[in-house]
Structure formats: C-alpha cells, structure tokens
Amino acid sequence: MIHGLERSTHMSQRMLKLLGMLLAITMVAAACSGSDSTDTVDAEDAPAATDAPEEEAMEEEEAMEEEEAMEEEEAMEEEEAMEEEEAMEENVEGELVIGTILPVTGDLAFLGPAEVAGAELAAADINAAGGVFGKDIVLIQGDSGDTTTDTANVEVDRLLAEGADAIMGAASSAVSKTVIDKITGAGVIQFSPANTSPDFTTYDDNGLYFRTAPSDLLQGRVLANAIIEQGNATVSVLFRQESYGTGLADALKANLEDAGATVDEFIGYAVDTESFDAEVDSIVAAGSDAVVIIGFAESANIVTTMHERGVGPTSDTNVWGVDGNAGLQGELSDPTILNGMKQTIPSVDLGSISDFIERLEEEMGGPEETAYGAETYDSVIIVALAAAVANSDGGKAIAAEINEVTKNGTKCTSFAECIELVKAGEDIDYDGLGGPYEFVDAGEPAAASFRIDTYGDDGADAALAEYTFAS
C-alpha cells in the first residue's frame, strides 16, 4: 500500500517534468508556426450563392488575361456583361448578408466600439434607403478576439454557416491573416476597415480581399517624414513581432534611413510579452532622440515603463506612436504621462465628418476612440453598392465590382445618392467618409490622408491635430 503510494508519487513527479517539457516544446512550436491554423473549408460550407457558371466565367477570364492587352480589355468588358446577366438570372431574390469580425475583445478592443457602431450605422442607412435588391441587408456582428485566442476562426465558421456573403474585418492584420484563406477559399469577400500590413497587397486572395485602410508603406513614409521634421537624428523603434508591427516597422526604418536618420535600436517583442523592463532598458541605453512604439494595447505598459525609466513622453525624448495604439489614454489610469507624445493615424479630417462622428458617438453611447469608424462604415456601403451593381449577392460577383465602385464615374457620397445612380444604370464613384478611396487593382486605396496627433493631458488634443496626404 505504502509502496504503491510512493510509486504513484514518483510517477506523477516524472509525469510533471515530462509534461512541463512537452508543454514548453509545444508552446515554442506553436509560437513559431503562428497563424497557419487555417484550413480549407468544405464545399458544403460555402454559401449557395457562389455557383458553377460564375466560376467558369472567372476561369475563362483568367485564360484571357494571357492574351494581348488590347484584346484583354475588350474581353473583360464582355465578361463582366456576361457575368451580370448570369447573376441577374440566378440571384435576384437573394439577400445580402454581411458578417463582421471586429475586435470586441483582445489587444485591439479599444478600436472595437467605433468599428461595430460604424457597421451598424451603415446597415441602418442602407436599409433606410431601401436596402439592396429591394430587400434589407442582414448584418451579423461577430468578435475577432486577438492572436492569442481562436475567436476569429470560430466566428468565421459561424458567419459562413449563416451564409455571409462578405465578412468585414478583422482590425488586426495578424488576425486577418489567420482567417483570410478560410474566407476567400469559401468564395466570400473579406473586407477589412483597418488592416494596414503591406503583406495583403500581394496576398493570393482570389481577388476577394479588400481594405479601406491604406498600406503601411504609406504610413511608414508619413511617420518617417514627421520624425525627421521634428529634428530627430537618431531613432529607436519598439515593435510587435507580427504582421502589422513588422510591416510598419520595416517601412519606417527604410524611410528613416533613406532620409538620413540613424535607427539605433530596432526591437521586436513577442506579442505576449508580460514585462518590458529589458526592452526599455535597451532604449535607455541607446539614448536616441526619438522612440517609436508600434504596438497595440500593450503600448500602455511600454509607455508606463518608459516613463518610470525617464524616457517617456514627458521627458526630453520624443515619443511617437501609431494607429495601433491610438486611444492609449483609455488604458492608463494616469493619462498625463502621455503629454507630448505624437502619433500618426490614417484618417480624414474629423472636422469634415463631424456629423458622422456625432452619430457614431451616439451609437457607441459616449465619446470613445473614433478611429476606423468611418472606414468601417464605408466598407459596408461599398460592398452593398457593389452588390447592387452586380445585382448578385455572390462573393465573386460583388468582388468583381468593388474596385470600380470606388472610382471612374459619377461621384456620389452617400448610399441613398449612389443607389439611385446605380438604379439609373450609371457608373458610380463612391467617395466615402474616410476618403475618396480610388481602389487600385489589389483592392486597397491608392492614396490616403493621415492625421498627426499630439497628446495633451487627457488624450490626443484635437486642436493640435495636423493632416497630411500620402500617395
């Protein structure tokens, strides 16, 4: 009996050690492999909307692309016409179902309320103007979580099962990457209002991925220019080691060095880092003129540690943030330590859309971070307009029209105005709240306006905001 008990203790002791090692190895392996957990979706899961004739048309289209350019354009037009006809026959009775995966929880939760409210307002405006194909659109809101959870994956399964034709989100580039293959593989549109990673420009997405946020190649340039303008010759960069952070940090570094500045420390930190003491100590040791933090909510922890070590925004060091940490004051119990910090963020002049901001704040139930609210609103409107132009709720049919909806045609600035033009058979150019867009072939804006914020004692000081344009 006693002997047996001892043995079992031995065994469990060994088991524990084995388990610990195993756990360590799997966690490390998981950290390395990151976001490859997406799997292809069965044909059954794909919504009924996408169907064979359309796909054939697309294939033909691809074949034709190899021909000469002149012919190709003509052929394309024909193809589009054909597609439209087919779509009209098969899908006039469909209803447009738009799902969202927006950050209700997780690292980017502070951006969530504005994005969720933006989508709600867009759906309300579309339905108030009579909807698409004479039917109200259906909006199904979902959570994206962050990269430490599997929320986005689960929500996408749910939305696909509910027959979503387009999924808006996610806000985080890294989260979008975990679900892009699943969504676009199912023939459904993925349309992010806030992804800025340069990777998406060239991602193999079957032509189904779009975004209203500009690539970080642009933000990197704007940020570098602003940092140089401030007179900083040496810069240290702290960035999240994931899709968004590395993309923006690389763009920033290249631009800074081209313009003559030196990057002293270029520190990537793991997404789940729990303490930034060592990273900040490197910053202290480097003693750069400026420090750039490219992170999400954990930036609050970084800034606090920097403040404690005397290199925070209130010290002689110029501290810069980016769109990922907009709204930082909400994460800190003492936002005065941010005084003097600056940040760049893709945004139109908020003064020019003050009516919308008011509606957004009403929808959110109070003044919260409004970043990407307008972009989310526009994403939903663009998808609805493209669906109306295609006269189909099939993902591929809508996707074929999205770029054209944002450029070349009669300008219009609201869904009600645009839908009348579409009904009249005109080619439209939707200029949204978040910018004129003018999508390039990769499905993203060619140019964008950026806001440079300066923090006061309680968050970004609206009076000090400057706007600049990059293309």
Interface with other proteins in residues 387-426 (CB under 8 A):
407
Residue 281 lies near other proteins (rule: CB under 8 A): yes
Nearer Cβ to other proteins, position 138 or 440? 440
Nearer Cβ to other proteins, position 127 or 234? 234
Contact region with other proteins (CB under 8 A), list: 83-91, 180-188, 371-379, 435-443: 435-443
Residue 231 lies near other proteins (rule: CB under 8 A): yes
How far is Cα 186 from Cα 208, in angstroms, rounded to an integer?
Answer: 10
Task: Report 295-324 residues binding other proteins (CB under 8 A).
Answer: 297-298, 300-301, 304-305, 307-310, 312
Distances (CA, A) of 139 to 103, 323, 415: 16, 26, 16
Task: Report 243-262 residues binding other proteins (CB under 8 A).
Answer: 258-262
How crowded is residue 113: how many other Cβ atoms within 10 Å of its Cβ? 23
Task: Report 126-145 residues binding other proteins (CB under 8 A).
Answer: 145
Task: Report 354-393 residues binding other proteins (CB under 8 A).
Answer: none
Sign of the dihedral defined by the CA atoms of residues 128, 132, 133, 137, in that order: negative
Residue 5 lies near other proteins (rule: CB under 8 A): yes
Residue 272 lies near other proteins (rule: CB under 8 A): yes
Main-chain dihedrals φ then ψ at residue 189, nearest 5 degrees: -80, 135
Nearer Cβ to other proteins, position 47 or 320? 320
In the complex, the smallest distance separating the C-beta of residue 92 from other proteins, rounded to whole angstroms, is 33
Residue 229 lies near other proteins (rule: CB under 8 A): yes
Please provide the size of the chain in residues.
471
Instruction: Give me the 21-40 binding string for other proteins, x by CB under 8 A, dash otherwise.
Output: x-xx--xx--x---------
Contact region with other proteins (CB under 8 A), list: 154-162, 181-189, 333-341, 420-428: 333-341
Contact region with other proteins (CB under 8 A), list: 12-20, 132-140, 157-165, 209-217: 12-20
Nearer Cβ to other proteins, position 38 or 149? 149
Residue 161 lies near other proteins (rule: CB under 8 A): no
In the complex, the smallest distance separating the C-beta of residue 434 from other proteins, rounded to whole angstroms, is 13
Selected binder of other proteins within 92, 161, 285, 462 (CB under 8 A) = 285
Selected binder of other proteins within 78, 85, 162, 334 (CB under 8 A) = 334
Q: Crossing angle of helices 173-185/243-258, nearest 10°?
A: 120
Residue 73 lies near other proteins (rule: CB under 8 A): no
Distances (CA, A) of 346 to 85, 140, 181, 244, 414: 38, 26, 26, 14, 21
Residue 65 lies near other proteins (rule: CB under 8 A): no
Selected binder of other proteins within 47, 94, 99, 106 (CB under 8 A) = 106
